[in-house]
Structure 1
Amino acid sequence: MQQRLDYELGVITSTGYAGYFLIVADFIQAARDRGIPVGPGRGSAAGSLVAYALRITDVCPLRFDLLFERFLNPERVSMPDIDIDFCYERRGEVIEYVREKYGRDSVGQIITFGTLKSRAAVKDVGRTLGFTPAETDALAKLIPNAPNFSLTVREAIDKVPEVKKLYRDDERYRELLDFAIKLEGLSRHAGVHAAGVVIAPGPLDDYVPICTQGSRGTSAGSDESIVVTQYGMNSLEHAGMLKMDFLGLSTLTVIDDAVASIRSRTGEAPDLATLPLEDEKTYRMLRAGKTAGVFQFESPLATDILKSMRADRFDDLVASTALMRPGPLDAGMHKVYCKRKRGEEVVTYALPELEEILDTTYGVITYQEQLMRIAQKLAGISLGEADVLRKAVGKKDAALTRGEVGKFAGKAVALGHDPKIIEDIAGQIETFGRYGFNKSHAVAY
């Protein structure tokens, strides 16, 4: 533990982010002092032992084998990202505390820019060119716009026969679609990020352009005007600004109300921080499908997965959180996990070295941290280098992915591993990029 703590502190101080940790720890403690419910952690920050020691998170990364490098990679330093869940009803109080402590002119919320998507571009252009609403609606509906499958206007012309025919045969529609192609992706309107807050060392307008707007609808905690940056999230990061997300989670509000109700009726209430994770009655209830009102698990899909895998341990809940995503579902990984959990399919490992990494998920690569461990173990690289591979695969850039996966394969073969097996594992790593999930977030949630 001391070695891990010293390592993390060394990285944090050398990268200049010590102040960031202390500021986050300060306003989280202020929230707790005011009785405002705070979540146990969110995202990759749960992989930091320093964050756990400061009570930024309530998840011990050593207990669950969570990786600091997934949060702050010394091999490729980027801004750390600590997102915090607060009680939905009282989030504004925490933001107000930050304004009071660090200066109202030094704290601002973050602008967002809504961009023209394919359907909106078609409708806006069509309205301008004199098309009837019925005509533009009919055309827009021909362009796929689902979360798991959407096309740009240009792609729709190539891949949707009806759109291709209109573009080829009708000059009016060709003009509309040509204009829509040029406008798609441009910023259409501005708003305020629902959770993003930026803190500057001095007046915010000394560092970035700002504007002010009324606080209605921003959870700012007061009725006065608030400062809003005119740089978006990514531009603020490039400018080196300290940003974080103050998220309002209604589940924390519900739990707090439930605990208060128990206390008012019985005179005492359970300490949520000390509840055991191995309570058999709880798992029996979840296996039976009694998940109504249970955070993350009350949807029909989540309930079916818990019943199918016969969840009886905390690792099953963590895996369920990671497997209930479009990628793993499309790949059928949840079915493989459930079959192996029930003993209906043999658990196999391509190499003996993988057993200690994949045993908790029955040989199924489920988390990004497992990919990093596999790369470290087989290729003899650092976890920082393994995180570079993880990011490359996650970006779905074919050339970048091939380059990083190729480096991994070359180093693994050089260490004496069977080239055919490594080639197969490399293919799994490439596929994994479509569905890998952050274990730190899964454990915390």
Structure 2
Amino acid sequence: MFLNVHSSYSLKYGTQSIEQIIETARTLGIHQLVLTDINNSTGAVEFVRECYRQGIAREADETHKGNIPYRIKPVVGIEFRFQHQLLYVGIARNKEGMRELNEFLSYHNIYHIPFPEFPPHFENAYVVYPFQKFFRRQLRENEFVGIRSKQLGILYSHPLLAQKEKLLVWHPVTVNNKLGYRLHEYLRAIDLNTLLSKVPENQKCGKEEFLITENELTKQFERYPFIVENTQRLIDTCDLSVYFEREIKSKNKIHYTKSGIEGDKKMLRNLAFVGLKYRYGAYTQEVLNRLEKELRIIEFKNYCAYFLITFDIIRYAINKCGFYHVGRGSGANSLVAYCLRITDVDPIDLDLYFERFLHEKRTSPPDFDIDFSWDERETIQQYIFKRYPKWHVAFLGTMSTFKNRAIIREIGKVLGLSKGEIDSFTDPHKECENLQNATFKKLLAVYQHMQNMPNQRSIHAGGILISEEPITYYTALDMPPKGFATVQWDMYEAEQIGYEKFDILSQRGIGHIREAVELIKKNRNLEIDIHDFKTFKSDTRLNGVLKEGQPIGCFYIESPAMRQLLKKLKCDNYLTLVAASSIIRPGVASSGMMKAYIERYHAPDKVQYLCEVMKEQLHETYGVMVYQEDVIKVCHYFAGLDLSDADILRKAMSGKYRSKLAFDELVNKFFISARKQGHAEELITEVWRQISSFAGYSFSKAHSASFAVESYQSLYLKTYFPMEFMVAVLNNYGGFYSRWVYVHELQKTGARVHLPCVNHSDEVVNIHGEEAWLGFIGVQGLEEKNIRIIPQERHANGLYLDLEDFVKRTCISLEQVIILIRLGALRFTGKDRKTLLWDVHNYLGFKQKKVNHAELFKLSYKNYELPPLADSALENAYTELELLGYPLNYKMFDLLKTSYRGEVMAADLHLHVGKTVRMLGNYVCEKTVHTIKNTKMWFGTFLDVHGDFFDTTHFPNTTPIYPFKGKGCYLILGKVVEDFGFPSVEVLKFAKLDVQLSPLAID
């Protein structure tokens, strides 16, 4: 009877989750519901599934109690609104009807076309219009009018009585009670960006829009029983049971070849064996057995097409585009993936087991993570969308929720609070004070009800779905600004429905590698095989650099924490780097397992394993769980869980499992099963503590291995071709550190780095031999059009002759050319900056002269003899600091008032362990962490006057007295400590030093 139910997926309108709606309906004895969220079908399949699941669970319970069980019949549809006004509601008769409604909505979303006054004729869906006083339209066979009980008073003389078989009971459901209605009002105010008191009544739901019993609803229409009969008849013709599956079936594209499954099997097998020869040459029986085992499981799970589609994407990227990629994640556990060049990680070499990616008992679908360079990913995405038919390919969506302090801001705005009040309410330092404030208590009450409610739909970072049947059977599509059709639900719902995503991701590290290889070819005329990883990992020079822990610019291993870890481990080989890539993760570090690993790494003979099973499974990592695979192994071999449950628990540890109830059941199952294995309670508790510390942070071994491969490739380029590599890092917008750090590293390579020059610089940094010219990108205030035009004009028509020639050819404005002059970008003229500033004002004045055509004769402006104008290095340094963010030709230390440079340098710290020293450091970065007592402490990174890095620790008792104050040079008093051979400074006192006053400020 309830044809128009809104869940919280009716964003900023509905207030109840699907679970709450079903629970309430069951309490009231309701037998049928139609979910019709506003302009979306996000919850459609979830609603059908949950109705059936709860029904099955309750049937068993009620039968046991001797009661007559029942199920709620789920029906779904879509409510179509334009500019907040209800137009009509579509209700699906069946799966085809759902597709019709979804495609109608998708078409208007994708092409940004307003909904028509009347929708097209749907073969398998009903249309219900809201009752109007003057509704006179002749209705089609599938069209009806919904009438509310309060509107029955005007029905007696209404023209629709002539079509009384078209009238339906209309009782929309939006809230659950008065409190829910108030929450609805807040949501409407937030949506309309207005004050709570100014939300128009026609923009809210009715106060009566909550579920009541079917008897109550029928009683409201007792004078018109035919309306109730019409409504029941319509619902009876609807059947969406096909959406409930006891066992999830894959919805991905099932067939890649035209000959179907058998053709896919044959093609995958052929490609795998071709790749086997490419990867191994003469392969062993062990490798062959592994390949056959994987192919058998892939065929059994019907994932051949999934592998072939991924192979097709990689083949296009390599052969057609010349793109470099990294295949990572659990897919790198697969030998088949290695043979198909989806990944460059050798699973045989690393003893990676395929079951982490796919096994016979796995119910949830696996996926591949494929990284491309940040500026090449969109090309691959466009290929995928062109390669597969409309309605069969779409981006995965995400659902952001109301959470944290952002809710307080939203609520405060609609209540009309001032910015100052809102800021004070979101200040964690004023939490105790706020709790005594009546207004804050009111905000907090609303906050409690609103938190975690859906807020808005968005797009997944890189997940793409490719389906066998149209995706519109399961969802409508949005068209976000990115320009690709996107489903209306997230990865969790995709998994429940049966979709495996293709993760097409991007990272800047690949851009570093790609451009460095191109620059080496251009600058040195050398061809580099960057995929020759086997040579890289055995290169003693590379491993020596790795051991020193100074790989600035290298992917994933340049951060202060990683540099420290490399030095503590004395890491000089690939396998140790693989482990380091995983134990650096916060979960491992905060649990104390990182420290335990380092200790055991240096003293493997002294390792005491928790038990024999743990020794057998974790001997490679000295009894410490380092990888996600370790969780699976321990759960399976120690606790006795089957691989399926172990894998689900592993997913929960990674934050990819959203059912807390199911997770809690698995935890109980872990303890019960472990006890059955005969383990002591104390041992089980400790093993579980180690497992749970992984929550949300651990890597799979294959994932770490993929990162380590890329790190070695970066390290190779940094070691043998440092100039080109650092230019590539700068041109791909750096990495962990600020831009000036990479410019500093480029200077350390011996390259002569020049300020931007209109006659030498391009948009990005360029290098010729050992001469590097900074690009125009990164110059503060320089407009994008000028960044592009200046080098384009020079390449097209030759070098600029002088200031006048430059201004005429680029049509640059006075303000913009002043920026370039101040930075020294017109120094080719032979004139100093101040003379040029005088000249440009003399030439341009305060008006831009437009030159829209070539001059027949060159007209010159008058020259004036100027007295010598003072131009100081200090002034230029401050100008560079202003326009670039750093002085290129002037050290930050030289800006200081003091000439003191510290008594100890970074290179000599290891000679002063246990001593208190004074050092001078140029601030690089800082990291804030929370202690066990929930106090804050900091880790700092600095450069000394010689350009060497050193690290500091700032404990909670000192930092509030001696805080960080941003960029600049600091005087540091601290004690030198050493941890596994890595020296650092525990700060006792800390102060930012004063700089010389800029000559510009004096002027």
Kindly state the Cα deviation for residue 296 of structure 1 after the two structures are TM-superposed. Answer: 0.6
What is the 5 A alignment of 1:201-240?
201-214=468-481, 218=482, 225-240=483-498
Kindly state the Cα deviation for residue 230 of structure 1 after the two structures are TM-superposed. Answer: 2.0
Q: Are 1:406 and 2:665 counterparts? A: no
Q: Are 1:441 and 2:699 counterparts? A: no
Kindly state the Cα deviation for residue 365 of structure 1 after the two structures are TM-superposed. Answer: 1.8
Deviations along 1:34-81, one digit per CA (max 9) or x if unpaired, are: 244343321111112222222221212222122222222432411212
Q: Tell me, what secondary structure is at the counterpart of 1:124?
A: helix
Q: Which moved more, 1:321-330 or 1:382-391?
A: 382-391
Kindly state the Cα deviation for residue 382 of structure 1 after the two structures are TM-superposed. Answer: 5.3
Tell which structure's C-alpha radius of gyration is larger.
Answer: 2
Residues 110 and 193, structure 1, Cα contact 8 Å, conserved in 2: yes
TM-score (norm 1): 0.83
Q: Are 1:306 and 2:554 counterparts? A: no
Q: Are 1:272 and 2:504 counterparts? A: no
Deviations along 1:256-298, one digit per CA (max 9) or x if unpaired, are: 1111222232332134244432322112112212210111110
What's 2:684 paired with?
423
What's 1:333 paired with?
593
Q: 1:165 to 1:374 in 2, by over 3 A?
A: same
What's 2:356 paired with?
70
Kindly state the Cα deviation for residue 324 of structure 1 after the two structures are TM-superposed. Answer: 1.2
Kindly state the Cα deviation for residue 203 of structure 1 after the two structures are TM-superposed. Answer: 4.5
What's 1:174 paired with?
441
Q: Tell me, what secondary structure is at the counterpart of 2:504?
A: strand
What's 1:150 paired with?
none
Cα distance in 2 for partners of 1:431, 1:171 equals 40
- The correspondence for 1:190, drawn from 457, 460, 470, is 457
Cα distance in 2 for partners of 1:141, 1:363 equals 43
Q: 1:205 to 1:191 in 2, by over 3 A?
A: same
Deviations along 1:149-197, one digit per CA (max 9) or x if unpaired, are: xxxxxxxxxxxxx546644x43322211111222222233333223122
Deviations along 1:231-259, one digit per CA (max 9) or x if unpaired, are: 23322333333422211122111101111
Cα distance in 2 for partners of 1:207, 1:174 equals 42
Kindly state the Cα deviation for residue 21 of structure 1 after the two structures are TM-superposed. Answer: 1.3
What is the RMSD computed on CA atoms of the aligned residues?
2.8
Q: Percent identity?
A: 31
Residues 412 and 422, structure 1, Cα contact 8 Å, conserved in 2: no
Q: Tell me, what secondary structure is at the counterpart of 1:85?
A: strand
In the alignment, residue 333 of structure 2 is paired with which amino acid?
G
What's 2:603 paired with?
343
Residues 371 and 429, structure 1, Cα contact 8 Å, conserved in 2: no
What's 2:647 paired with?
387
Q: 1:88 to 1:374 in 2, by over 3 A?
A: same
Q: Tell me, what secondary structure is at the counterpart of 1:364?
A: coil
Cα distance in 2 for partners of 1:385, 1:5 equals 25
Q: Are 1:42 and 2:328 counterparts? A: yes
Kindly state the Cα deviation for residue 311 of structure 1 after the two structures are TM-superposed. Answer: 0.5
Cα distance in 2 for partners of 1:440, 1:313 equals 16
Q: Tell me, what secondary structure is at the counterpart of 1:175?
A: helix
Cα distance in 1 for partners of 2:521, 2:317 equals 21
Cα distance in 2 for partners of 1:412, 1:281 equals 49
Deviations along 1:380-438, one digit per CA (max 9) or x if unpaired, are: 6654454345345556967335423224413432xxxx646853663455444445432
Q: Tell me, what secondary structure is at the counterpart of 1:189?
A: strand
Cα distance in 2 for partners of 1:235, 1:359 equals 38
Cα distance in 2 for partners of 1:421, 1:279 equals 46
Kindly state the Cα deviation for residue 135 of structure 1 after the two structures are TM-superposed. Answer: 1.3
What's 2:502 paired with?
244
Cα distance in 2 for partners of 1:303, 1:186 equals 41
Deviations along 1:66-102, one digit per CA (max 9) or x if unpaired, are: 2222222432411212121012211111112112221
Q: Are 1:359 and 2:619 counterparts? A: yes
Q: Tell me, what secondary structure is at the counterpart of 1:19?
A: helix
Cα distance in 2 for partners of 1:8, 1:344 equals 34
Give the number of the structure with larger relative contact order, counting CA–CA contacts within 8 Å between residues 6 or more apart: 1
Gaps of 5+ in 1: 144-161, 219-224
Cα distance in 2 for partners of 1:230, 1:385 equals 29
Residues 582 and 704, structure 2, Cα contact 8 Å, conserved in 1: yes
Structure 1 ranges of 4+ moved more than 6 A = none
Q: 1:400 to 1:391 in 2, by over 3 A?
A: farther
Residues 629 and 700, structure 2, Cα contact 8 Å, conserved in 1: yes
- The correspondence for 1:8, drawn from 273, 280, 294, is 294
In the alignment, residue 71 of structure 1 is paired with which amino acid?
F
Q: Tell me, what secondary structure is at the counterpart of 2:617?
A: helix
Residues 37 and 253, structure 1, Cα contact 8 Å, conserved in 2: no
Q: Tell me, what secondary structure is at the counterpart of 2:541?
A: helix
What's 1:103 paired with?
389
Cα distance in 2 for partners of 1:344, 1:21 equals 40
- The correspondence for 1:292, drawn from 549, 552, 562, is 552
Q: Tell me, what secondary structure is at the counterpart of 1:110?
A: strand
Between structures 1 and 2, the one with greater helix share: 1
Q: 1:18 to 1:407 in 2, by over 3 A?
A: farther
Q: 1:366 to 1:274 in 2, by over 3 A?
A: closer
Q: Tell me, what secondary structure is at the counterpart of 1:272?
A: coil
Cα distance in 1 for partners of 2:503, 2:558 equals 25
Q: 1:381 to 1:192 in 2, by over 3 A?
A: closer
Residues 591 and 690, structure 2, Cα contact 8 Å, conserved in 1: no
What's 2:93 paired with?
none
Q: Tell me, what secondary structure is at the counterpart of 1:5?
A: helix
Cα distance in 2 for partners of 1:73, 1:119 equals 42
